[in-house]
Amino acid sequence: MAYASFKTRIGDLTGFASTDDTALSDWINDGIRELINSFSNDYDLLAQCATTQSFTSQAVGSETSAGALNTGKILTVSMGSYPCRKIDPRQKFFAGDSSAFASSQMEKASTSDPVYYIESGYINALPSGNTTKYSEVQYPVADLTAGTSGIGTFPDEAEHLVVLYASTKSLQQMMSNKTSSLPTDITLPSAPVAPTITTVSYTDATNADASIESIVVPAKIDVSGNAPSFVSPVSPAADFAKVTSYVETDEDVELASSKLQQIQSQISDFTAKMQESTSKFNKDNVRYQMEFQEEVTKVNQDLQAELERFRTKASVAQFNKQQDQALNLANAAKQMEDIISDNGSKLQKYSSELQKYQAEVSSEIQNYNAKIQKQVTDYQWLTNQYQNLMADYQRGLQLLTGTPVQRGQ
């Protein structure tokens, strides 16, 4: 039966789209080794992980010319049709000794009662000079990307557990990476600067009629304070790294879930404070725009009133043949008309900037909240998926070996 590649199968369970194939390969092969080690009490499973090799037994002292071991997990050793019994390496001299002393101690090895021992990564059997076969458990290496039909010398019924093991490791890494994915403190645009409202300066001509009163020009706009700025609450210290440590290092899912709930509480508190700050900003912004509008309206009304007086006085001056003063008044009136128009444009532009600023602040706040919430939601999914896959792994291993599994509890 053909299978999808290990990488594809892990991705289907975790959404792990990393190009870190080295890590994936390590996790898969770590899973293979852990599972084989867990088969220690099941000969049938271990036998499916073993290969049979042979060597010529060597005399004591020449072990490096015998069989070099890979894992050292020996299932059976035989010389001819006889099984070899295992002895402590310290007994090799007696077993290989042909003297009468060895025979009297019943420690001498024979072709009908052969022995074997393991020393310094080598296996040797006695008596020397005989063909010896041994079965050794191996740790096969899986192919990450190629489609597979099994993992070499490995039980087919345990292959899905390798996928589950590597998937839990992938989820652990994804949880760890979530810490660096958190958004930094919110960055907001600068508030617009209130415009300076232009006024007019008027000087009577030298031949001005003393009966004409002086022109009073309104002062510029003076709105107390600047436009309101949004003050963000302190971002929550969402310690996702601690959650990952509980899962990956301590293998304590309950502590991880408790810590995650604490983080969610911090996020909720931050969101509430953010809403309070937003409400205050919107309220202050409305108040400021109303005050600014009132001040601009008042100044423009005063300017408009003075404009009418200018026009009246200009008419009087013209009637009294005071040409210079009439011309000055007419010019001042024209200047006032331009100022009123310019002030109106400034007000409209500033009001538009305030609205844009308010919209940008609201947008940044929403985006920031959305990013925070997405990280929490994603992390919760990773934690739940880790728990589900770990439970599947434990159940599968228990069914396979008949032994309760404690890993990840």
Please list the helix, strand and coil fractions of the chain in percent, rounded to the nearest 5, in that order. Answer: 55, 10, 35
Encode the chain (409 residues) as per-residue pLDDT tens digits: 567 888 889 999 998 766 688 899 999 999 999 999 999 889 999 999 999 999 999 999 999 999 999 999 999 999 999 999 999 999 998 887 665 454 445 678 999 999 999 999 999 999 999 999 999 999 999 888 766 556 888 998 999 999 999 999 998 888 877 766 666 667 777 777 777 766 555 555 444 444 444 455 554 555 555 667 677 777 666 666 666 666 656 666 677 777 777 777 777 787 788 788 878 877 887 787 787 777 777 777 777 777 677 667 666 655 555 566 666 666 766 777 777 777 778 778 877 887 888 788 788 878 877 887 787 788 788 888 988 999 999 999 999 988 765 554 3
Reported in sequence order, the residue ranges of 187-319 that DSSP labels E, i.e. its strands, are none
Give me 121's structure tokens: 């990564």
CB 230 within 8 A of CB 277: yes
Q: Is 134 helix (H, G, I), strand (E, B) or coil?
A: strand
d(CA 257, CA 62): 58
For residue 120, give the nearest of 95, 84, 91, 89 by alpha carbon. Answer: 89
Domain-wise residue ranges, the chain: 51-137, 182-401
Residue 249, both tokens: 């290092």
Strands (E), 57-202: 67-68, 74-79, 82-83, 85-86, 115-119, 122-126, 131-137
pTM strictly above 0.85: no
Backbone angles phi, psi at 71, to 5 degrees: -105, -20
